[in-house]
Amino acid sequence: MTRETMIERLREKGLKITPQRRLIIDVLLERQPFHPGASLIYAEGKKRTPGLSLSTVYATLHEFSRCGLIKTLEFDQMENRYEVNLEEHVNLICQRCGRIIDYPSPFIVDQAELTEKTGFLVQKTRLEYYGYCRDCLGDRAA
C-alpha cells in the first residue's frame, strides 16, 4: 500500500484529502510493518504538525477503518492499534512488550513451525468471527 493508493482510495470514497489525513497516512506507512496506536500516531504527527489534535487522529482512524483502508486491532490491556497491512495474515501479539508481528497466513498454523520461524512462543490463540446474529440480521433490513 502506497501513499498515493491510499489517497486515491480516499477520493473514491468521497472523503476529503486534508493535510491531517495526508500526515496520518504518512505516519501509518512509515517503518512497515507498523502497528501504532492513536497516541503514537498523534505524538509522531504532532512533531511535524504541532496543531494536530488527538480527536482528529481518532476521527481519521475511524474513517479510514470504516472505509477499509486500515484495520483496527482492539485490545484490553493496551490501546487500539492500527495496521495498513490488509493482506490475510495472523497477528502475533507479545503480551509483555505489546509488539505485534505479522505472520503471513490466514490459517491456524503449526505452532512449532511458527516459533521456529519467528521466535514467537504462543500462549493463547484467539479466533473470533464478527458479524451479525440471526436476530440482528433480520433487523438490519429495517
Partner DNA sequence: ATGATTGCAAATACTTTGCACACCC
Partner DNA sequence: GGGTGTGCAAAGTATTTGCAATCAT
- Which parts of this chain interact with DNA (CB under 7 A)? 11, 15-21, 37-39, 49, 51-56, 58-60, 62-63, 76-80
Q: Which of residues 17 and 121 has its CB atom nearest to DNA in the complex?
A: 17
Please say whether the beta carbons of 65 and 59 come within 8 A. no
104 grid coordinates: 503471513
Residue type for position 103: Y
31 binds, among a copy of itself, DNA, none (CB under 5 to 8 A by kind): none
Q: Which of residues 19 and 106 has its CB atom nearest to a copy of itself in the complex?
A: 106
Q: How many residues bind a copy of itself (CB under 8 A)?
A: 45
127 binds, among DNA, a copy of itself, none (CB under 5 to 8 A by kind): a copy of itself
Please name the helix (run of DSSP H) or strand (run of DSSP E) that holds residue 29, with its range, or none: helix 19-29
Query: CA 52 to CA 123: how far, in whole Å?
Result: 39
17 binds, among DNA, a copy of itself, none (CB under 5 to 8 A by kind): DNA
- Does residue 126 bind a copy of itself (CB under 8 A)? yes
60 grid coordinates: 481519521
Query: CA 74 to CA 91: how far, in whole Å?
Result: 12
